[in-house]
Amino acid sequence: MVVHNGLMIATLILLGLFPLAGWAGTSAIELSQESMVHCQQGRIATERAERAHHFEIGKQLAEEAIHLDQKYPNGHFSFFCNLGEQMRLDGEVLSAVMEYNRLMEALDTALALNPDYLDAISAKGMLLVRLPWIMGGDPEKGEVLLRRVVQEDPTAVNARIGLARLCVERGDHQDALMFAQEAYTLAKERQQLDLLPEAQQLLADIQKTTVSR
């Protein structure tokens, strides 16, 4: 059921119709998978209350997965995904230091457990590119990670979005257009609805800039 009214969602939560618990006996793998589904559904949702609910459920599922198996990297990454999106609900500023530390700890743990985890590598690259240096940002290192992801995963959309934005910032419009076009095409073909709007808007912006030059 898709709910578009924040008041209705709040009421359903209070009534217990959207359960927040009851995952006992489920494996860490299943919990992590379900957690990522909530992260993606939250990205697609348009109502803030619905988005917040998905991310909170996803975070709790991930915490339960970690509790069941602390050495399963996907559990830590799914926690990172939901917490990160939860922190972005009201803007891009990562203002809560404690939450930011939890965010980075989850991502770094996932990578420590699986250094070849491409989704986590892509996320790390995006953070290094976007964060100011005082918070650990390093655009050059971030670009290396994003290019590695693109090289190893021909279907990686998020990494291509990150590289397109980097290329725009340094005036490399040809490569920016290439990465943006690839990101949009892949997101559309694979029906990645959580990334498609961003990829489409980025491509349109770059095309507009290229035409006006």
Q: Which amino acid is at 24?
A: A
Structure confidence at residue 173 as a pLDDT band (50, 70, 90): very high
Report CA-CA distances (Å) from 135 to 94, 95, 109, 120, 127. 10, 11, 18, 18, 10
Read off the pTM. 0.84
Higher-confidence position of 184 and 22? 184
Torsion of CA 88, 91, 94, 97, to 10 degrees: -90
CA pair distance 15, 37, nearest whole angstrom:
23
Cβ-based burial of 180 (10 A; exposed 0-12, middle 13-18, buried ≥19): buried
Higher-confidence position of 36 and 8? 36
What is the percent of the chain where pLDDT is above 70? 83
Structure confidence at residue 211 as a pLDDT band (50, 70, 90): low
Tell me the pLDDT tens digit for each residue of 73-127.
999 999 999 999 999 887 655 456 678 889 999 999 999 999 999 999 999 999 9
What's 175's DSSP letter? H
Place of tokens 């404690």: 98
Nearest to 192 by CA among 32, 31, 44, 30: 44
CA pair distance 30, 72, nearest whole angstrom:
11
Structure confidence at residue 8 as a pLDDT band (50, 70, 90): very low
Report CA-CA distances (Å) from 13 to 25, 46, 60, 92, 195. 23, 18, 14, 27, 27
- End-to-end distance of the chain based on CA atoms, in angstroms? 47
In this prediction, residue 213 carries a pLDDT of 60
Tell me the pLDDT tens digit for each residue of 12-24.
333 333 444 455 5
